[in-house]
Amino acid sequence: MKRILLASLCLCLALAVPAWAGPKRITIATAGTAGALYPMGVAMAETINRHAKGFAASAEASAGSLQNLRNLAAGKVDWGISMNEAAYLAYHGLDKWRGRPVKEIRSLFGTLISWLQIFAPADSPLKTVADFKGRRIGLGAPGSGGEQAARRVLAYYGLSYQDIKPEFMSNPEMVAALKDGTLDAFIITHPLRSAALMDLTSSFKVKLIPVADPGFYRKYPYYTMRQIPAGTYPGVKQAVPTPTNRVNMYVSTRSGLSADDVYALLKAVWDHADEWRGVHPAVKRYTTLKDALVAIKVPLHPGAVRFYRERGFTIPARLLAK
C-alpha cells in the first residue's frame, strides 16, 4: 500500500512540474564572423544570460539578412538581424518575396547604419548617377545586398545593366580597379571609413557622387538620406547626401516568446547596454536606446511596444501590429 501511495505521490509531483521548467533558450542570428554584427550578437547573448532570469541565449553566425528572414519565418531562430530594406520587402511581400510575405517578423530595435557610397576618381567628369551610361561601374558581388541597392539607384536614374558596363566584384577588387583605371566608378554599401575605403582614399584622390533627389527616398521608403560629413575622406571637402539602410533586430512570432518575455529581454539588453555596445566602434556609435526606433519600418512586437512606451517613446500607429 505504501509503495502505491509513494508511486502516486511521485506521479503527482511529476505532473505538477511544468514541461517548460528550466531556461527558455533563444538563438540570435547575426551575420558573418568578420564584421561587427556577430560579436555584437555574442555579447548581447552574454548580457541576456547574466541579467534576464529564466533565459539562455546564444548567437550564431549566418549569411545575413535573407537567411535570417527565412529562418525567422520558419521558427528556426528566435531573434535575427536584417537590413531594413530586406525586412520591409519581406514583410510586405514585395520584390523577391512577392506573393509570400513574411508576416512572422516583428521589430525590436535598430543597430548599425549601412551607408551607400558612390566613388569616382576626383578628376572624373561624372557628376551624377545619370552620367554613368556607357561607363564601367562596379556593383559589388552578384546577388549581394549592395548589388541590389546599386540596381535600385541606377534604375531610379533611368539606367539598367544594359545601359552601363556592369562589373560584379568584391569590395577589395572594386577598390583596386578604381585605382588602376579599370572602373569609372563603383557603388558600395559599407560603413563610413571602413578599412577598404580608407585604403582607397589614403592613396588615391576621389569624389563622392550624391543621391540627393527626394523622389528616390519616396520611392524606396526603407532608405534614409543622411549626409556623409565633409572631411570623412581625404579631399572630400563638402557633405554628400546618400542613402542609408538600418540593420535592425527582429523577433519571430514563431519563437514562442510572449510579450512578457520580449519585454524582459529588451529590459536586460538596454539596462546593461554598456556590456555589448563596446564590441565595435560602429555598434557604439549607432546602436543607442534613443535611436532604437529610427527608420524602423516593420511593426514592433507587443512586448517591445510596452518596453518603449515605459521608456517614454511615442509609438507611431504604423509600428503597431494589427
pLDDT for 142 equals 84
Cell of 144: 549581394
Domain CATH number, residue 191:
3.40.190.10
User: 3-class DSSP state for residue 60?
Assistant: strand
**Antiparallel, parallel or unpaired: β 165-167 and 136-138:** parallel
pLDDT for 22 equals 80
pLDDT digits (tens, 9 = 90+) for 226-270: 999 999 999 999 999 999 999 999 999 999 999 999 999 999 999
Our count of domains for the chain comes to 2
Same domain membership, residue 218 and residue 130 = yes
**Domain boundary at 245, 270, 300, which?**
245
Q: Is residue 241 part of a domain?
A: yes
pLDDT digits (tens, 9 = 90+) for 154-164: 999 999 999 99
Which tops the pLDDT comparison, 315 or 4? 315
| Mean per-residue pLDDT, 93-122 | 94
At residue 95 the predicted structure's pLDDT band, cuts being 50, 70 and 90, is confident
Same domain membership, residue 146 and residue 100 = no
Cell of 109: 530595435
pLDDT for 81 equals 94
Same domain membership, residue 205 and residue 140 = yes
- Residue 216 to residue 123: CA distance in whole angstroms: 27
Q: Is 220's pLDDT higher than 50?
A: yes
**Domain boundary at 221, 245, 269, which?**
245
Q: Is residue 5 part of a domain?
A: no
pLDDT for 11 equals 46
Which residue matches cell numbers 578599412? 195
pLDDT digits (tens, 9 = 90+) for 275-299: 999 998 889 999 999 999 999 999 9
* Domain carrying residue 162: 114-245
**Domain boundary at 182, 216, 245, which?**
245
pLDDT digits (tens, 9 = 90+) for 27-57: 999 988 877 899 999 999 999 999 999 999 9
